[in-house]
Structure formats: structure tokens, C-alpha cells
Amino acid sequence: MPALASFTLRRLARGLVTVWFAVTVTFLLLRLLPGDPALAIASPTMTEETRAAVLERYGLADPLVVQYGRYLLALVQGDLGTSFTQGQPVSSVLLERLPWTLLLTGAALVVTVLVGIPLGVLAAARAGSGLDRLVQGLGVTGQSLFVPSVGVLLLYVLGLQLGWFPIGGAYDRDVYGGEWYLSVLRHLALPALSLALVQLGAYVITLRSTLIEALGEDYCALARAGGIPYRRVLWKHALRNALLPTTTLVGLQLGFLVGGAVLTETVYAYPGVGRGIYEAVTQLDFPVLQGAFVLLAVTVVVANLLTDLVYGLLDPRVRT
């Protein structure tokens, strides 16, 4: 079997095991949560009979192993179950929200990469200078920011005080066609900026250090000795190699982005999967939580798989 095919199959198998592991851990963790879903679904003043009926109706009265087996069987058939609280299929609850999360995290990634690469290059090119120290300082500060605090601050300054952006939501009511898309962009700006701000530091610092390392390599020294201008060596030679770890970081950061989206979507009243997770936690809606985590696990695994495959294509040493 060709090395690339074998490499792909191994990564695929590893991805499947990871998803199964995530599904199982999620299933068990939710049931270990201290809390009674019947209390969240019905009323604290319900009778024991009502409580038993609620647990029976939602299949929570069965032994754990039976619930697990039933869940796995349904899952391989593409059935994520039915929301306890909304009475709707989990897949439709999540699919309704997924485009918003994809848009938000994708936009945040684009902003991060577009701003992060020039900043990282600038810092590396002027390593040790005041500018480098400033960029590093900002990078470290950005990593320590708490998403909700950033969100409320941006909303207060840019939304309430300056009135440049709307306060929460994904779009305005009563707008249609092109105006609707513009409204979507206006509502997207602040949450995407918040997410980008808190993850930018990781990109800048990673890129800076890998770029400084690359610039010290023999091939860069040779290129410069051969008369190639420094700017060209920096952007065409060193940056290309330094971007490999950054590509990996994009895959790794996806998980972080999704985690950040839970808080960002909650603060900005953005109707994505993250906010769905927040609401499902407060309502102990196990099926929605399980479905959301399966969706996120699959997303992260697929992103990492694609990153691995791209890396494998770029660097044959990885395939072994």
C-alpha cells in the first residue's frame, strides 16, 4: 500500500477512535453530573409519580448500560435523539445553529490569520527591538483575556457609547435581501473581533518564534549570501517553512475557538451551537449536549485529520 494511503487510513482510524472516546466520555460525564433532569424538565413541586413518568418518557429510568447501548445504536444510524426540553430532533436543533457558529469561528480565524501573520513577521524581523517586545506583550495579554469581559467592554464602547454596532443578535428584524446580509455582517463584527483578540496572541508568538528559527537556518543564510534581498528571504523562504507549525495551530485552535464560542455567543446573544450548549447545560438537556459535543468532536477531529493530511502531503517524513 502506498505510504500516503496507509498514512491516511491510520489517521482515519485514529480519528474514529477519538470520536468514539469523546462520545463515551460525554455520555458518562453527563450522567455523573450532580443534578436531576426530571427537576429541570418538570417542576420542583412534582409528585413522585410525575417524576417517574418523566424519567420513563425520556428513557432515563433504564440502567446506564442500556441507555448507552441504545444511544450508540441510534448514533451510528445518524439519530442524535430528541431534545428533552424542546421535543425536537437534536439534529435539527443543532443544524439550525451550526451555520452561525461556522460563520463566527471562520470569520474569527480569518481575522486572526490576516492580522496575526503580519504581526508575527514584523516581530520576528525586528527581534529584540521595542516593537518586538510590544507585540510579544500584546500577544501574552491577548491570551490571558477573558472572552465575556472583552465582549461586554466592546459592546459598551463600540455598541452603546459610539453606536457603531448593534447590541447582540445575529441580524435585524424586518430586513431582507442584500440588506439582510449587511445586517449579518454588522452583527458579526464584534463577536468575531472578540474571539480573534483572545486567540491572536498564540498565532503571533508561535509564528514569531518559528520564523526566527527559520531565519537562522543555513538555507536562509545561503539565500542572503547569494544576494537575495532580506525582505524576499523573509517572506518567500523563511515564512513558508515557519507557516507549517502555524497550520497545525489552526487545527488545534479550532477546539479552543469552539470553546470560546460558547461564551462569545452567550454574551453577544448570537444564535450558534455554543449558546445552545450553554442553554442545554442549564436545562440538563442531555440529548442536545451529547449531540453538540459529538458535532464538535467530529469537527475538531476532521479539522485535525485534514491538517495531518496536508502536513503529510507537504512533508513526506510525517507519513512514516
Cα(82)–Cα(99) distance, rounded to whole angstroms? 20
Please identify, using beta-carbon distances, which residue of 27 and 100 lies nearer to other proteins. Answer: 100
Decide whether 44 or 78 has the Cβ nearer to other proteins.
44
Tell me how far, at minimum, the Cβ of 19 lies from other proteins, in Å: 20
Nearer to other proteins, 118 or 137 (CB): 118
How large is the angle between the packed helices 239-267 and 178-215, nearest 10 degrees?
A: 140
**Nearer of residues 21 and 156 to other proteins, judged by Cβ:** 156
- Beta bridge partners of residue 82, listed in sequence order: 89
Based on CB atoms, which residue is closest to other proteins, 38 or 90?
38
Query: In angstroms, rounded to a whole number, what is the distance separating the alpha carbons of residues 188 and 169?
Result: 9
CB of 137 vs other proteins, minimal distance in Å: 24
CB atoms within 10 A of CB 172: 14
Shortest approach of other proteins to residue 283 CB, angstroms? 7
In the bound complex, what is the minimum distance in angstroms from residue 227's beta carbon to other proteins? 27
Number of neighbours of residue 103 by Cβ within 10 angstroms: 18
State phi, psi for 149 to the nearest 5 degrees. Answer: -65, -45
3-state DSSP call for residue 82?
strand
Provide, rounded to whole angstroms, the least separation between the CB of residue 279 and other proteins: 6
Sign of the C-alpha dihedral computed for residues 129, 134, 135 and 141 taken in this order: positive
Residue type, 258: V
- 3-state DSSP assignment of residue 63: coil
Residue closer to other proteins by CB (options 107, 294) is 107
- The least distance separating other proteins from the CB of residue 225, rounded to whole angstroms, comes to 27
Instruction: Name the burial class of residue 122, with classes exposed (0-12), middle (13-18) and buried (19+) by CB atoms within 10 angstroms of its CB.
Output: middle
